[in-house]
Structure 1
Amino acid sequence: MLEPLLSYVPTKSPVVSLYLNTDMTKRLKEEVMLVLKGFLKEAAEEANPEDLGKIEDFFSLEYDWQAKGVAVFSCTEGGLWLTHPFPQPFKDEFQVLPEPYIRPLVHLLSSHERYGIILVSREQARFFSFQMGKLEEFGGVSGTIPGKHKQGGWAQARYQRHIDEHAAQQLKNAAEAFTKLWDKEKFSYVIIGGTEENVKTFTDFLPGPIQEAIATTFTADIMVPISDLEEEVVSLVERFEKSRNEEIVRQILTEAAKGRKATSGLDDTLNAVREGRVNILLLDPEFKAPGKKCPNCGFMSSQKIEICPVCSSALEERPDILNDALAETLRKGGKVVTLSGNQELAKAGYIASLLRY
């Protein structure tokens, strides 16, 4: 969903970006519509009336109110109309800006990365995707393993080797099938379940990039009910992401303190973003800062200056310069990690980055 928003080319008409909590287990439809009408009224001075009308019609006539959250982006002049429901709620928010306001969306996606879940046995494998608390089964591969040999001695040992070779081939086939799924689905991480022996054999058949993306492994029966598996995966993901985020903060702030390939604080990080050096941008999702951006060269600053020090163009006001920073990071192939309430990150200015060079 981010691709059309990141590649959007601004026009003279602004983009209306809207996020709504539409969780009908927590609030009434009438309450949401009241919030929406308030937003549309507030946006009337800046936004194209056609965009506001399209948004109101969408919620009045098209939206099915099944999702817990929804994001809407509209700019008729720029050919932008994008709506997307989500299984997680947003905080109600709208912005009218030259470019799409993607901070809430990026925070949601970075907090709920997409996992490939694999269950393996000697006979079969099951593949799933997991994101935002939901598990979806893709299918898998299956085969048959020869039965046990009743004779003893050399014949039995030879037959057992035959069974083991057959099982290894099954796991290899499963690894090849998942590799194709990985290439198609673009998972961020992988979690593998099964016996310790089967998980190890399966893992050895995976290509290097997938092995590097393994978040954790666990013991599981191949026929575990999907509801039980979902509960287990939720717990595994929570533990992994907590540990991963703590390590990211520690690594970035240690590197920044030593003056190595990292930054901390707003302006140093903004400069690194503009230069395309940011590999991982780390920020608190609650941290917002007004700033200036150059429409010509992309220079960004939180300082009260009017002229770009790089190309001498007039700078444009930005109510939240972090929206521009994370969008530019993503455009240049970097990753954004959002982390709420981390005291070490707060001490560093609520924003930091790990650099490519």
Structure 2
Amino acid sequence: MNLNKLMQKLIAFEPNGSPFISIYLNAEANEQGRDEFGIWLKKVLSMRRKGFKEDSEEIKSFDKDIERILNFAEKEVDAAANGIAIFACHGANEFFEIVQLDVPFPNNRLLVFDRPHIFPLARMIDQNPPYIALWVDTNKADIYIFGGDEIDMDKELKVREIQNFKTNRTEVGGWSQARFQRHIENYHLHHAKEVVDEVAELMRRKKIEYLILCGDEKVIMPVLRPQLPEVVEKAVAGTLNLSQYASEDEIHQATREVITTGNATDDMEKVERVLNAAQAAAEMGVLGVEKTLEALSNGQVEEMTISADFDAIKYDEKEVKEVLQNYAPGDDQSGTDDLPDYHEQRQIADELLIRAMNSAAKIHFIEDKSLLEEIGGVGAVLRFNMNAAASVPVKG
């Protein structure tokens, strides 16, 4: 399933009192090539079952979900999957959704609330943005899309292969060396332009913001780079000197490391942007869970920056409760008519995400928890200040 469509389905879920199971699994194989989550899953499900009364409607729903979850774990797991997310609530029209991913979740987690727990999935999507990996030489190009919805195991990663005819000395007969060289250069230039046009169109159509170039840095890159339109050049996140024998997995791993390194650099810039906006005279930023939740409820937030570590997300329960009560369902950007439990940190973190998504605010997860720890783990840049006579745009 498309990850963004799955997320919309999860945040629109209406609790009805039945237990909702959210499971996140690291499905990477161990040193013996075996998955380790199966035993853990059975153990944790058995433990959580003890929290329900026998013969209750809740345990009946839970048992149905256990049966379906374990059947999937034993028979339907894709051997190539590194991460798995499962969402189940039999008591709510037999809700059951599974996504198998190319990238792992950091830890195994199983949570039971009255609603889905979306934080790890939202973090996964943010930390794996869609990007194009272009492997190219003088007569061939392979275009891959990694990240975003393409981390779903059901997606085809290679989206385009461009193959042009090779030109060598035997094909041009008795041409002069200079004429032959001009022919080769024109051929390479034509090939580069064709590849660039294809990549630019794909980025525009798929709304992809990152591009990683792979190939011989001395032979093809000097021909390719000058052909990149300005908007595509700005999207280049890095270049890798990879040979024609690099496999799809090797290309994926190498380019993913480039994206991960870029994320760490971007994190500091995003946090600085929030802090500067909050400290500026125009007050176009807010810090902390309470103020961010209120701004989200008002539709003020342009972009929210939140810690990827729950330990950094701190708030005053009384103040959060007051914000939740002050904004009636339907006018607060919440996903359902039932408000979250303000005592439960994970539900409040989810609520921040839901209100951001429902108000079209950008969401950024920060991996280094120390960057946001002192402000409660979250902050936001605003579209407008409700207390100001005129809003002043924040410069990046």
Question: Once the 2 structures are TM-superposed, how far is the Cα of residue 30 of structure 1 from its aligned partner?
Answer: 2.8
Whether 2:47 is the aligned partner of 1:38: answer yes
Structure 1 residue aligned with 2:134: 118
Whole-angstrom distance in 2 between the partners of 1:266 and 1:126: 45
Bigger drift between 34-43 and 243-252 goes to 34-43
> 1:73 deviation in Å?
1.9
Q: Shift in Å at residue 101 of structure 1?
A: 1.7
Which of the two has greater strand per residue?
1
Question: How big is the shift at 1:191?
Answer: 0.8
**Following the alignment from structure 1 to structure 2, what is the Cα–Cα distance between the partners of residues 164 and 111?**
40
Residue of structure 1 in register with 2:5 after alignment: 3
CA separation of 1:50/1:179 partners in 2, compared to 1, >3 Å: closer, same or farther?
farther
Residues 47 and 291 of structure 1: is their aligned pair in 2 closer, same or farther, counting only changes over 3 Å? farther
**d(CA) in 2 for partners of 1:343 and 1:268?**
20
Which of 19, 22, 39 is the aligned partner of 1:18? 22
C-alpha contact 1:18 1:71 (8 A) present in aligned 2: yes
Q: Which amino acid aligns with 1:12?
A: N
Aligned-residue offset at 1:309? 6.0
Quick one: percent identity of the two aligned structures? 15
Q: Aligned-pair RMSD on alpha carbons? A: 3.8
Which residue in 2 is equivalent to 1:269? 292
Matches within 5 A, 1:228-267: 228-259=250-281, 260-267=283-290
TM-score by length of 1: 0.79
1:144-293 paired onto structure 2 within 5 Å: 144-147=165-168, 156-182=177-203, 187-194=208-215, 195=217, 198-199=220-221, 201-203=223-225, 205=227, 210-226=232-248, 228-259=250-281, 260-285=283-308, 286=310, 287-288=312-313
Q: TM-score, normalised by structure 2?
A: 0.72
Q: Which amino acid aligns with 1:104?
A: P
Counterpart Cα distance in 2 of 1:80 and 1:273: 28
Structure 2 gaps of 5+ residues are: 385-396
Q: CA deviation at 1:337?
A: 2.0
Unaligned runs of 5+ in 1: 293-299
Query: 1:172 offset after TM fit, Å?
Result: 2.0
AA of the residue aligned to 2:40: E
Counterpart CA distance in 2 for 1:118 and 1:256 is 39
| Residues 150 and 156 in structure 1, CA contact (< 8 A), matched pair in contact too | no
CA distance in 1, matches of 2:356, 2:242: 38
Indicate yes or no: 2:94 matched with 1:84.
Answer: no
**Superposition pairs of residues 25-104 of structure 1, within 5 angstroms:** 25=30, 27=36, 29-42=38-51, 48-49=58-59, 51-63=61-73, 64-65=76-77, 66=79, 67-75=81-89, 76-77=91-92, 80-86=95-101, 87-89=103-105, 90-97=107-114, 99-104=115-120
Is the 1:291–1:317 contact (alpha carbons within 8 Å) kept by the matching residues of 2? no
Deviation at 1:141, TM superposition (A): 0.5
Aligned mates of 1:180, 1:51 — CA distance in 2: 48
The offset of 1:283, in angstroms, is 1.3
Note closer, same or farther for the CA distance 1:243–1:179 as it changes in structure 2 (3 Å cut).
same
Match of 1:127 in 2: 143
Q: Aligned-pair distance for 1:138?
A: 4.0
Contact conserved, 1:129 with 1:137, CA < 8 A, in 2? yes
SS of the aligned residue for 2:20 comes to strand
Partner of 1:308: 326
Question: Which amino acid counterpart does residue 348 of structure 1 have in structure 2?
Answer: I
